[in-house]
Amino acid sequence: MGNESSNLITQIDFARAGQITPAMRVVAEKEGRSAEFIREGVAAGRIAIPANIHHTSLSPEGVGEGLRTKVNVNLGISGDLADESVEWQKVDTAIELGAEAIMDLSNSGKTQAFRTKLIEKSPAMIGTVPMYDAIGYLEKALIAIKAEDFLDVVRRHAEDGVDFVTIHAGMNRRTIESFKETGRLMNIVSRGGSLIFAWMEATGNENPFYEHYDEVLEILHEHDVTISIGDAMRPGCTYDATDAGQIAELIEIGKLTKRAWDAGVQVMVEGPGHMALNEIEANMRLEKRLCHNAPFYVLGPLVTDIAPGYDHITAAIGGAVAASSGADFLCYVTPAEHLRLPDAQDVRDGLVATKIAAHAADIAKGIPGARDRDNRMSDARRRMDWEEQFGLAIDPIRPRKVFESAPPSNEGTCTMCGKMCAVRTVNTIMDGLVIDLDNE
């Protein structure tokens, strides 16, 4: 399965040849795993290290089995809100709070300048959806775009240094037939998927990313870009979850996963979406089975459809269940989901909620070291060391702000319990002192 030495380009190439790369060593150190554990996972496709050879500022991360659950932040310029300074605020927030990935979903105008600056600056891995960029980059109407044009956009993103690209290659004629025959309440909600569906319906052609999949893989292999096989048929409401269209596409994605590995390209598989709580575990297991244990990257899932303005919470609930059941990578959802482009505060709120979900899942999965920070926090709380508590928090800013907004009259406590603070009382007794609550 290995390539000749001169053709070793991607992480999976090197892993299959028995070679441990610098990126694998960095991931091993971050994860508390041996470098050989990482190499074996990459060689088998269970772990991906998205690391474009042109992304020199990258601090590599591993995504997959036995590793910490990673979190992605979506941002980017839209046609209605094209304020680049706000997008940089979002980037700063993502990096400050430790997001492992940033997806630039810019879809208006010439996006390359923002993308290349982002790649130059970001230690986080960068992902894109080339389909979003096609119309602006090519300056053509959707109906006028040719299959080779789509490949040109993929090539440009790869050359710019993008670490992973979402390619909706699994939505072929067979998938669409299943969708049309069974119907849906919300139809197709994937933006990239809807554009490809429209192009296919207008031209009568097969999905260009499916028809020319081998050429796509050649481009990605040349620059070591990981393919994140997009779920064009993901459910957009809980009613549509686990339906024929979603599963038909997942079957196709499983076949495409093996083809990518055979071409020396790393793979992640994207998943739902909206999904009732009781369906999530089965969907995670199904993906791992059909897609040969490739890393699974999920949006949410959102466990109810009636919480606009709070969908970072519905997604965090689903994300915690998904990751504890086998998902490896969570895409954040913000309070602005379904309503508008998120602002910088939305990004912060969505990222914190998703990091909570990821961390909770890592504890449940028994990831090495996952409880260490929690134990340090508990020790700091017992000692009533507020500064240390703030420093250990997922978001260190908000707890400080909340604490300082209501100063307690009893030093070391907070205004919830004051002099009746259980921790303070027991600490005093354990120190052999007598505490008189009545006279304090």
290 vs 430: CA distance, rounded Å = 56
359 is in an annotated binding site: no
421 is in an annotated binding site: yes
* CA–centroid distance for 70 within its chain: 6
And the tokens for 244? Answer: 């024929």
74 is in an annotated binding site: yes
And the tokens for 231? Answer: 């779920």
191 is in an annotated binding site: yes
291 is in an annotated binding site: no
234 is in an annotated binding site: yes
270 is in an annotated binding site: yes
378 vs 280: CA distance, rounded Å = 31
**Strand partners of residue 268:** 228
163 vs 378: CA distance, rounded Å = 37
Residue 64, classed as helix, strand or coil, is: strand
192 is in an annotated binding site: yes
55 is in an annotated binding site: no
330 vs 297: CA distance, rounded Å = 6
From residue 355, alpha-carbon distances to 55, 125, 128, 238 in Å are 24, 16, 21, 23
Helix ranges restricted to H, 204-310: 208-211, 213-223, 244-262, 280-290
190 is in an annotated binding site: yes
239 is in an annotated binding site: no
157 is in an annotated binding site: no
For the stretch 411-418, contacts whose Cβ atoms lie closer than 8 Å and that sit 24 or more positions apart, written own/partner, are 412/384, 413/384
125 is in an annotated binding site: no
CA-wise closest residue to 423 among 398, 386, 390: 386
168 is in an annotated binding site: yes
Write out the binding residues for Zn(2+). Answer: 274, 338
Q: Which residues are annotated as a binding site for substrate?
A: 74, 103, 132, 168, 190-192, 231-234, 270, 297
Binding residues for [4Fe-4S] cluster: 414, 417, 421
Known binding site: residues? 74, 103, 132, 168, 190-192, 231-234, 270, 274, 297, 338, 414, 417, 421
